């Protein structure tokens, strides 16, 4: 086994892109750390997100701290600045997205059980306080990443990465994959 080179890596990614027709967007509500925003930008671009909505105190993708971590991957996203969650939510809905907030909340569903097999805009919030009450009420679904350890929450960029992966996993078409080998 060896690592894939440039051409083989492009082929692999192209194959997986063809297996998933669902659109993905992200909405960052008051995510204040440039390093978290940069990590989210890079993850969103890697997972094929089309749009990113920046709300409130979320730093612009062009500031040095964000650019350092995102490594210029913001060029693959349509980034829009919005003053309020309500404005960003209206734009995301007008673009056809279901809003799914990632938050530890009493009525939240586990990510694997959330209805993510459509066009989804994942909503994440402030690193310490999470998404606002307005965003919780204004989202179509609230979901959380089940955690098994003794830590109560995840870093916002990590939570977003798990959400992006789950959106893609639920949207994959596995119909033409060869049968997996039987476990021994």
Q: What mean pLDDT comes out for the span 148-154?
A: 89
pLDDT at 72: 94
Residue 95, SS3 per DSSP? coil
pLDDT at 172: 77
Report CA-CA distances (Å) from 120 to 51, 157, 179, 182.
Answer: 11, 17, 29, 34
How far is Cα 182 from Cα 178, in angstroms, rounded to an integer? Answer: 12
Strand partners, 109: 143
pLDDT at residue 12 above 60?
yes
Helix (H) or strand (E) holding 43: helix 34-46
Q: What mean pLDDT comes out for the span 16-26?
A: 82
Tokens of 137: 């009420």
| pLDDT band at 132; cut points 50, 70, 90 | very high
| pLDDT band at 177; cut points 50, 70, 90 | low
pLDDT tens-digit map of 70-122: 999 999 999 999 999 999 999 999 999 999 999 999 999 999 999 999 999 99
pLDDT tens-digit map of 36-59: 999 999 999 999 999 999 999 999
- Number of neighbours of residue 180 by Cβ within 10 angstroms: 7
User: Domains of the chain by range and CATH?
Assistant: 21-171 (3.40.1280.10)
pLDDT at 175: 65
CA angle at 45 for the pair 41 and 51, rounded to the nearest 5°: 80
> Do the beta carbons of residue 24 and residue 164 sit within 8 Å?
yes
pLDDT at residue 183 above 70?
no
**Better pLDDT: 3 or 65:** 65
Tokens of 88: 């960003």
């Amino acid at each position: 086994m060896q690592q894939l080179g440039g051409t083989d890596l492009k082929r692999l990614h192209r194959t997986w892109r063809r297996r998933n027709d669902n659109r993905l967007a992200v909405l960052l509500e008051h995510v204040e750390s440039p390093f978290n925003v940069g990590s989210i930008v890079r993850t969103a671009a890697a997972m094929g997100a089309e749009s990113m909505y920046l709300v409130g105190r979320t730093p612009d993708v062009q500031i040095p701290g964000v650019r350092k971590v995102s490594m210029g991957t913001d060029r693959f996203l349509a980034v829009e600045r919005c003053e309020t969650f309500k404005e960003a939510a209206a734009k995301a809905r007008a673009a056809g997205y279901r809003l799914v907030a990632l938050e530890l909340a009493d009525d939240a569903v586990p990510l694997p059980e959330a209805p993510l097999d459509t066009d989804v805009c994942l909503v994440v919030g402030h690193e310490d306080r999470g998404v606002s009450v307005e965003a919780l009420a204004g989202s179509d679904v609230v979901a959380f990443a089940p955690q098994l350890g003794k830590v109560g929450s995840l870093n916002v960029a990590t939570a977003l990465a798990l959400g992006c992966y789950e959106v893609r996993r639920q949207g994959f078409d596995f119909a033409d994959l060869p049968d997996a080998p039987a476990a021994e």
